[in-house]
Amino acid sequence: MKKLSLFFLSLMCITLWSCSDDENPAIEVVVNFSDKLTDPNSSFQPEGGEVDGYYKVVTFTDTRNLVEMPSYYSDWGFGGGFTYTNISDKTTPGYMNLGNITGVGRSGSVYLTANSNAYTPAYVKNLDVSKYQFKGAWVTNSTYAYLAVKDGNDGNNPALVRKFGDGDWFKLTAVGYDVSDNELGCVDFYLADYRDGQSKVVNAWEWFDWSALATADHISFELSSTDSGEFGMNTPSYFCMDGITLVEK
C-alpha cells in the first residue's frame, strides 16, 4: 500500500510539473488598423508633417498605440515608409497600385504596404518595450513588385525591369536595433526565390518570424534583389505586411 501511495504521489508531481508551462502562457497581441479606414479601396491620407527631401514625413500608430511607423508622402500620394490600405487590386501594374497580390488583408480588411529604401526607410517601433517583445508578422508581395518579378511588368519601363529567371531572388531583411540604434541582428525572408531549381514568387500571406529580434526597440526593413544595376535595385522596393504580433513579457 505504501508503494502504491508513493506511485500516485509521483504521478501527481509529474502531472503538475508537465502542466506548469501552460499555467501562464505568453499573451500575444496582434496589431491591426481595422478602424482606420471606412471607404473601400482607400489608403491613409496624412496631413502636416515635416519636409524630408522630396517628401513630407509623418508617423502613425495602430488602433491600440502599440507600434509606430513612418509615412512619406507628397502631393501625388504615398512615397515610402509605410501606409495602411484596403486596396484589393491584384492586376494593375505600377507604383500607383498599393494593393497586395492576395487582394485581401491577412487579419482584416486593412493591411500595410511599404516602400523601403535609403530615402524612405520603413521601420516598426515598439512603443512599450517594458511590456512587449516582437514575435513576427505576415508578409506578402505587393501587386507592383509581384508583376515586375513574375512578368517583367512594372507598369513603367519594361526595358529596365526583367522577368526573373534561374538564380534570381528578391529578399526582405528585418534588422533589429536597440533604443540607442545599435544593431542587434537581422533575419531574412525571400519574397521571390529562383535558386536551386525553384520558381517561387510569394502570392499568399506567409509568416515572417522575428523572434531573433524580440528585444528590439525598432525593426527596419531592407529589400535586395539580383535584378540590380548601376543605380541600385530595379525590382520595386515594395512589400505588404499584416498581423504584426507582439508578446507580453
Query: Which cell goes with 137?
Result: 508578422
pLDDT at residue number 22: 57
pLDDT band at 60 (very low <50, low <70, confident <90, very high): very high
Residue 227's φ and ψ, nearest 5 degrees, are -90, 80
Are 163 and 150 spatial neighbours (Cβ–Cβ below 8 Å)?
yes
- Domain architecture of the chain: domains with CATH: 26-248 (2.60.120.1350)
Q: Helix or strand or coil: residue 135?
A: strand
Q: Would strands 218-225 and 55-61 be described as parallel, antiparallel, or unpaired?
A: unpaired
Which of 9-18, 128-137, 141-150, 223-232 is predicted least confidently? 9-18
pLDDT at residue number 15: 33
Are 220 and 120 spatial neighbours (Cβ–Cβ below 8 Å)?
no
Residue 40, pLDDT above cutoff 50: yes
Taking residues 207-236, what's their average pLDDT?
96
Residue 16, pLDDT above cutoff 60: no
| Position with higher pLDDT, 230 vs 51 | 51
Residue 5, pLDDT above cutoff 80: no
DSSP state of 211: G
